[in-house]
Amino acid sequence: MKDRIATPIRRDIIDTLIESLGIQDFANATIREVKQVAAMAEQRSGIEFIKMEMGIPGLPAAGVGVRAQIKALEDGIAHSYPIMQGLPELKTEASRFIKAFVGVDIAAEGCVPVCGSMQGSFAAFLTCSQADHTKDTVLFIDPGFPVQKLQLKIQGVKYETFDVFDFRGDKLRNKIESYLKNGNICGIVYSNPNNPAWTCLTESELQAIGELATQYDAIVMEDLAYFAMDFREDLSVPFQPPYQPSVARYTDNYMLLISGSKAFSYAGERIGVVCISDKLFHRHYDDLSARYEGLPFGPVFSTRMLYALTAGTSHSAQYAMAAMMRAATDGEYRFRDEVKVYGERAHKLKEIFLRHGFHIVYARDLDRPVADGFYFTIGYQDMTSGELARELMYYGVSAICLITTGSQQEGLRVCTSFIEDHQYAQLDERMRTFQLNH
């Protein structure tokens, strides 16, 4: 056996840290555990880590939002509780934004501000799971955001899940229907573009989901955290196709989760909007009516669930979100131009990994390669997720295992958000050593 080349980080440093944190299986290490190991190893070794584990925006917040929020604070808005259903200005701008970039009509009353899509999904799960007592289970089209399953665990709500890897195209309809026909699915959840795979469901796949949601009376919770960030097309021209792909064109049973965190780089202020279809917003469910004084779905979501959680969304942040949406809709602010750097980074990183023997795990959207964006997925030969994640730590590269996202594939999620220009050369050299050692 050939002699191994020394790794940038001594193996004993990584091994000791993993053991000291009580991580039994690195394949199941959480994002924050991986981040902690990387930070401590960097400190002890003095070697810079290439950090790819955290999905945190790495760009400045949108200036138009910052200015609007500062003005709102200077005008004294902080002393007032926000209106429970949301700032009227934001609701109007959210409705216009959806029309401009998704191409569908949602009334302003159905656009409800939330403390980020995280709170939006939590409240959505509560509302959907209580709407009909015979439907007590949420279906995830995975891979997906692990915290959403934690939210259901906290709520005591059951869920089913399947990995979409082998069920693209025509296979997707049959796979989803195999769950829906059991009669217990209250909601369907997926992200588009996908976290972690960056796959994007096609219009025909979304049509299948929408038609099945109508047929089996399930509510689709479409997580658009990475709104218009499929950089293969320019989805940022208001009121002109191509639009952000959405199930909203194919069913009335939907909630769209719009986040300020990634498209507007406004993660720190915890601001988003849940946009509920007009029909669903006004729909009466017997179980919700009995529990919540006869209220229909939308007001239950806003004046009961959100009220109990936070009594509203940060007042000044709503002014920021309204300003960003208004500027985007009016064509004054091309948010895509600011975030397309993520796609450029992904293109460079993929080239380095592929050149050194890695492969892209979720590589295609049916007939075309997956887009370059905020995330992508890598695997290496026959290494398991845990083996690869741990091994890369010795080379000063941190990423999370796909298994933690509901994927059944062996590999890792790579996030492009914190990559610095000088780190491409570092990564190239380290992966050259990695390849020689393997």
CATH number (domain holding residue 431): 3.90.1150.100
CA distance 168 to 434: 33
Q: Look at 133 and 32; give whichever has higher pLDDT.
A: 133
Contact between residue 277 and residue 246 where contact means Cβ atoms under 8 Å apart: no
Closest CA to 226 of 35, 348, 371: 371
Contact between residue 18 and residue 390 where contact means Cβ atoms under 8 Å apart: yes
Collapsing DSSP to helix, strand or coil, 172 comes out as helix
Matching residue, tokens 């009335």: 252
Q: Which amino acid is at 257?
A: L
Partners of residue 375 on adjacent β-strands: 415
CA distance 106 to 94: 9
pTM: 0.94
Would you state the pLDDT for residue 1? 42
Whether 293 and 409 share a structural domain: no
CA distance 130 to 133: 6
Q: Does residue 56 fall inside a structural domain?
A: no
Please enumerate in sequence order all residues whose Cβ is within 8 A of that of 105, keeping only pairs 6 or more positions apart, or say none. 95, 98, 99, 278
Q: Tell me what percent of the residues of the chain surpass a pLDDT of 70.
A: 99
Whether 259 and 400 share a structural domain: no
At which of 282, 309, 335 does a domain end? 335
Whether 72 and 38 share a structural domain: no
Closest CA to 26 of 332, 391, 276: 391
- Other C-beta atoms closer than 10 Å to the C-beta of 287 total 13
Collapsing DSSP to helix, strand or coil, 146 comes out as helix
CA distance 269 to 261: 8
Q: How confident is the model at residue 190 (pLDDT cuts 50, 70, 90)?
A: very high
Would you state the pLDDT for residue 407? 94
Would you state the pLDDT for residue 58? 80
Q: Does residue 408 fall inside a structural domain?
A: yes
Would you state the pLDDT for residue 31? 86
Cis amide linkage into residue 60, ω under 30° from 0: no
Q: Does residue 5 fall inside a structural domain?
A: no
Whether 155 and 134 share a structural domain: yes
Contact between residue 327 and residue 333 where contact means Cβ atoms under 8 Å apart: yes
Whether 111 and 257 share a structural domain: yes
Collapsing DSSP to helix, strand or coil, 123 comes out as helix
DSSP letter (8 states) at residue 302: I
Structure-token pair, residue 334: 């091309």
The answer on pLDDT for 118 being more than 80 is: yes
Whether 83 and 35 share a structural domain: no
Would you state the pLDDT for residue 247? 98
Q: How confident is the model at residue 2 (pLDDT cuts 50, 70, 90)?
A: low
Whether 133 and 228 share a structural domain: yes
Q: What angle do CA 202, 321, 316 make, to 5 degrees?
A: 155
Contact between residue 228 and residue 23 where contact means Cβ atoms under 8 Å apart: no
Q: What angle do CA 324, 329, 331 make, to 5 degrees?
A: 95
Q: Does residue 215 fall inside a structural domain?
A: yes
Collapsing DSSP to helix, strand or coil, 189 comes out as strand
CA distance 245 to 193: 9
For 35, list phi and psi in degrees, rounded to 5.
Answer: -60, -40
- CATH code, 108: 3.40.640.10
Structure-token pair, residue 15: 């091994």
Task: Please write down the HEC assignment for all residues of 338-403.
Answer: HHCHHHHHHHHHHHHHHHCCEEECCCEECCEECCCCCEEEEEECCCCHHHHHHHHHCCCEECEEHH
Structural domain of 284: 63-335
Query: What torsion, rounded to 10 degrees, do the Cα atoms 413, 415, 421, 423 define?
Result: -40
At which of 335, 361, 389 does a domain end? 335
Q: Does residue 114 fall inside a structural domain?
A: yes
| Domain total in the chain | 2
- Other C-beta atoms closer than 10 Å to the C-beta of 213 total 23
Please enumerate in sequence order all residues whose Cβ is within 8 A of that of 290, keeping only pairs 6 or more positions apart, or say none. none
At which of 335, 356, 378 does a domain end? 335
Q: Does residue 3 fall inside a structural domain?
A: no
Contact between residue 398 and residue 37 where contact means Cβ atoms under 8 Å apart: yes
The answer on pLDDT for 367 being more than 50 is: yes
Q: What beta strand segments (E) does 34-143 contain?
A: 50-51, 111-114, 137-142
Whether 207 and 346 share a structural domain: no
Q: Does residue 118 fall inside a structural domain?
A: yes
Report pLDDT digits (tens) over 375-426.
999 999 999 999 999 999 999 999 999 999 999 999 999 999 989 999 999 9
Structure-token pair, residue 221: 């919770």
Contact between residue 269 and residue 314 where contact means Cβ atoms under 8 Å apart: yes
Q: Which amino acid is at 45?
A: S
Whether 216 and 360 share a structural domain: no
Q: Does residue 6 fall inside a structural domain?
A: no
Would you state the pLDDT for residue 54? 80
Q: What angle do CA 170, 256, 168 make, to 5 degrees?
A: 15
What average pLDDT is seen over the chain?
A: 95
Whether 363 and 309 share a structural domain: no
254-259/272-276 β-pairing: antiparallel
Alpha carbon of 242 to those of 93, 104, 289: distances in Å? 20, 13, 39
Would you state the pLDDT for residue 282? 98
The answer on pLDDT for 359 being more than 60 is: yes
Displacement of CA 360 from its chain's centroid (Å): 19
Whether 257 and 395 share a structural domain: no
Partners of residue 50 on adjacent β-strands: 397
Whether 327 and 346 share a structural domain: no
